[in-house]
Amino acid sequence: MATVRLSFSPAPVHVRTARLVGVAVARRAGVAEELLDEVRLAIGEACTRAVALHNQYGLPDLVTVEMSDSDSYSVRVIDHAPIEASVGLTKLPPDELADESLTDEALTTGVGFALLAGFVDDLQVRPVDDGPGTEVRMVWPVRRR
Amino acid sequence: MELSLATRTVAEHTVLEVGGEVDVYTAPRLRERLVELVDSGVRSVVVDLGGVEFLDSTGLGVLVGAMKRLRVANGRFSLVCSKEALLKIFRITALDQVFPIFPTIEAATADSDGSATS
């Protein structure tokens, strides 16, 4: 099993780096080419969520992305925000998306979760084992090499 | 690829051509440009996503924000997109039911019945 671990300060500019690394490792792991766009988007959304939470709570802590390719390709995105793991993970119905009362942040969060849930068949969101924080775990199948 | 933005006028419409990656880092520049357009009095904005290689929730949020601004100003907002990868994003988020999405600029600028912001 090979593991790549990337930690970055919670700045938007680094989310692109995480996407690029995540896709590079996915390709190396044997994830099908036609899934790579979805991998790119899902890792980006999970990292965007983590960065937004760290900024919201004024946390300078690093966001961690851990990728491993054993029988499948799994990616864990770990934040340290002191919230319930399920906060912000609600898909918005169409009639609420363009509602004037919905804040930009709430809209982006809801849309972000819709993308995660829509693109990742095997998705888990749970509290981290130690201290505050959430782990978003995503798994994709790999081809035999 | 970095974000690229260019505007041109087609009849009474202002077409904003977007290229590159629209994400949490670059979306603020897109928001800024759209706000500038609306504040300068533009009342019909067509955002051409033909050159977009990546679009995330932050970018989608910016597009919804622009649509709301134009709606308040009695303007109209539409998107041009024919890439299946992007169209899938709109379908999954149900935003295909929120935005008027056209396959070409010609189709977007020909549709002048004013229903685009509903």
Can you give the pLDDT at residue B82?
96
Closest CA to B56 of A134, A123, A47: A47
For A2-141, which CATH class? Answer: alpha beta
Flag whether B116 is in a domain.
Answer: no
Please report, rounded to a whole number, the percentage of residues in chain A having pLDDT higher than 90: 70
Can you give the pLDDT at residue A1?
57
Flag whether B100 is in a domain.
Answer: yes
Return all residues near B50 (Cβ < 8 A) that are at least 6 apart.
B17, B19, B80, B81, B82, B83
B95 and A111 in contact by Cβ < 8 A? yes
CA distance A51 to A63: 7
Q: With bands split at pLDDT 50, 70 and 90, how would you rate the model's confidence at A61?
A: very high
Instruction: Say which residue the tokens 């802590």 belong to.
Output: A61
Give the CATH number, domain containing residue B53: 3.30.750.24
- Per residue in A91-120, pLDDT (tens digit) is 677 777 777 778 878 888 889 989 999 999
> Of the candidates A13, A93, A111, which has its C-beta nearest B60's C-beta?
A111
Instruction: Say which residue the tokens 């919201």 belong to.
Output: A56
Q: With bands split at pLDDT 50, 70 and 90, how would you rate the model's confidence at A143?
A: confident
Flag whether B113 is in a domain.
Answer: no
Indicate the residue type of B22. V
Can you give the pLDDT at residue B116?
42
Chain B nearest-CA distance from A127, in A, is 23
CA distance B41 to A67: 48
Can you give the pLDDT at residue A144?
67
Contact B109, B11 (CB under 8 A): yes
Tally A–B CB contacts below 8 A.
76
Contact A64, A6 (CB under 8 A): yes
CA distance A98 to A106: 11
Reported ipTM: the value is 0.89
Beta bridge partner(s), residue B102: B80
Average pLDDT estimate for B43-71 = 96
Can you give the pLDDT at residue A97?
77
Flag whether B92 is in a domain.
Answer: yes
Flag whether B68 is in a domain.
Answer: yes
> Of the candidates B24, B54, B98, which has its C-beta nearest A97's C-beta?
B98
* Residue B88, burial from CB neighbour count under 10 angstroms (0-12, 13-18, 19+): middle
Of residues B89 and B116, which shows the higher confidence score? B89
Tell me the DSSP string of B16-55. EEEEEEESTTTHHHHHHHHHHHHHTT--EEEEEEEEEEEE
Q: Residue B48: give the domain boundaries.
A: 4-107
Number of structural domains (chain B) is 1
Of residues B118 and A104, which shows the higher confidence score? A104
Strands B76-80 and B101-102: parallel
Domain locations in chain A?
A: 2-141
Can you give the pLDDT at residue A63?
97
- Residue B118, pLDDT above cutoff 50: no
A15 and B23 in contact by Cβ < 8 A? yes
Indicate the residue type of B43. R
What count of other Cβ atoms lies within 10 Å of the Cβ of residue B91? 12
A130: its two tokens = 């130690």
- Residue A85, pLDDT above cutoff 80: no
